[in-house]
Structure 1
């Protein structure tokens, strides 16, 4: 096929194809000796597509050549090494940017909004960040909402199908109320340093938050400007639980891990919980028996991040948000949306929540059950 057709098939521009031909990465199958026109074969489309994708992740030409020449595990290893370098370079760029901000006056101390124990704050951030999502239409879902009051510091995240919130007791009484949605990627990069500090002081500045740690490198995270979903309205509007079940976390997780499908049915009775076809799990349940379905990728993280040996489920029917929390500690709470029974699903994002009420249809835009 001529170079123009091949460019359309491969996603590479004609000029890029000429460059890769001259570099030896993708020579044409034939070159007309009279006109000099280049022609490519159908078999070269796959190689060209891989080449384009490797360049899209900023792999240098030498790396591209090595990956294309390698096979199987060697190619995967080279790709992993490149990604690790890109991630490391990004983290180094973030650190250098913080130094530059300081030199430009961007590291001017801001008012202290909270003082927390570093390891406790780091654990809470990692737990709650599991409920974030990357959506181009709602970039705020990739952030972590931090709310500081006179009594507590609350962390919240949601992917619209799951909402996680954790309440922390500050090491010192907060000096002022504050709220903001902090960039999730920045927090993930800062957590390792925060975890190693006995105390972390949060300072609010115009476009972000500084995490100050004695004797350690301070960390900066930007604040997202988009409005965060009104999770407080959701929590306040939840109805009373009609079924409550408490069961061992480790047995529950094991049953979910061994479940073969991408959605799972829970059958809750007074003395046990059945997870699909798995052996029944001993449980303590009150209220009416209930059968309810969940997407596995929504239910599993909600259970795995619970604190303590037992998990408590507060259920309000098979079409209402379910509260998942630790039976012995209530400072980490997760809400999850059930899915419809009776049909296959691919992921919870492909499966509509049970929506007999209009407000649950709206939840697909702004939060679980909203």
Structure 2
């Protein structure tokens, strides 16, 4: 008879999250053999130290890992198992993207689906703009639009905009050919991000709209399809129009400001602006201010930011110098190139920390 420390298959199934039938299958596959099998009844018994392996087995199968790879992961050391997991996930993602593109091609020939030409843009310019603006996206449950990129085509220009509620980035592009008509849509950011490498390698990219997405038509490369999000993009123009007047303007080296943010020890920082320049300030007195040479006009001001909000807003700015327009300690700061205004980012401040001005 099995010893009292062993679990019958039903109890082990509850502990591991696997069904009894799955346990029998994995035993037959050699992945998880029972510790003991009653020779008379054929009942299978498992030990407590098999729960971890069974749980890992279940988790690996939940991400659709083939049995052969599952076995390799279970027997491998931690570093090798991590590599195998990364390879599997990369394959799943690649297969999903390929399936998505093939499905889009199939949909395009179902019935008589017509496309609407929107605009022609230079591929490298579009790729850079998409990368810059997509830094202001976020994945939030219930708000998929925050992971999207709004594309607006007018008769003169194309504007790309994204927001995660703490930042808003917008960039205006001059098209290679005048837009044929006005158009607005919010494109899935992840799908655009996946197409960036191909966009960058195409001299010209033609954007065409269909009912549920856009096509990126590229010469000598496979066309890419990106879904449109159904949710309405936030009315950012209303927010921009409601901003109060700028009270303080600072021009500073982008490289020096980024270096100061990187050297800063905390996750919250203050920009302390006076007529002598700007300091990057910590919340406590243990870490000295980092002074930066800067040209400042207007009122002296101290504004606090989360590093995760301010750093990407500065790092994506175009050119060697950035201009910061501040409106008060509790108002958004506008960050843009000191000599090129086609990429603009708004960064939301946070409540001030204890350290005073």
* Preserved CA contact (<8 Å) 2:279 2:290: no
* Preserved CA contact (<8 Å) 2:207 2:215: yes
Q: Is 1:167 the counterpart of 2:146 in the alignment? A: no
Cα offset for 1:127?
Answer: 1.0
Equivalent of 1:86, from 82, 86, 92? 92
Cα offset for 1:103?
Answer: 4.1
Partner Cα distance (1:312, 1:10) in 2: 57
Partner Cα distance (2:353, 2:8) in 1: 51
Equivalent of 1:59, from 57, 62, 65? 65
**RMSD between aligned alpha carbons?**
2.4
Cα offset for 1:223?
Answer: 0.9
Question: What does 1:105-144 align with in structure 2 at a 5 Å threshold?
Answer: 105=111, 108-144=113-149
Q: Secondary structure at the match of 1:224?
A: coil
Cα offset for 1:26?
Answer: 3.0
TM-score normalised per structure 1 = 0.84
Q: Is 1:145 the counterpart of 2:156 in the alignment? A: no
Cα offset for 1:5?
Answer: 5.1
TM-score normalised per structure 2 = 0.87
> Which digits, 9 at most, give the CA deviation of each residue in 1:169-200, with x for residues without a partner?
11222221110111112212222222222211
Structure 1's unaligned 5+ residue stretches are 344-370
Partner of 1:291: 302
Q: Secondary structure at the match of 2:233?
A: coil
- More deviation, 235-244/1-10: 1-10
Partner Cα distance (1:315, 1:237) in 2: 14
Structure 2's unaligned 5+ residue stretches are 1-6
Partner Cα distance (2:304, 2:39) in 1: 66
Q: Is 1:261 the counterpart of 2:258 in the alignment? A: no
Partner of 1:178: 183
* Preserved CA contact (<8 Å) 1:152 1:169: yes
Partner of 1:338: 349
Q: Is 1:213 the counterpart of 2:213 in the alignment? A: no
* Preserved CA contact (<8 Å) 2:271 2:278: no
Partner Cα distance (1:3, 1:340) in 2: 56
Partner of 1:21: 27
Partner Cα distance (2:36, 2:311) in 1: 54
Q: Secondary structure at the match of 2:228?
A: strand
Partner Cα distance (2:177, 2:347) in 1: 33
Partner of 1:348: none
Partner Cα distance (1:160, 1:154) in 2: 18
* Preserved CA contact (<8 Å) 1:255 1:275: no
Partner of 1:200: 205
Cα offset for 1:105?
Answer: 5.0
Partner of 1:158: 163
Cα offset for 1:59?
Answer: 1.2
The 3 A distance-change label for structure 1 pair 205 and 30 is same
Structure 1 segments of 4+ aligned residues over 6 angstroms from their partners: none
The 3 A distance-change label for structure 1 pair 126 and 30 is same
Q: Secondary structure at the match of 1:134?
A: coil
* Preserved CA contact (<8 Å) 1:273 1:283: no
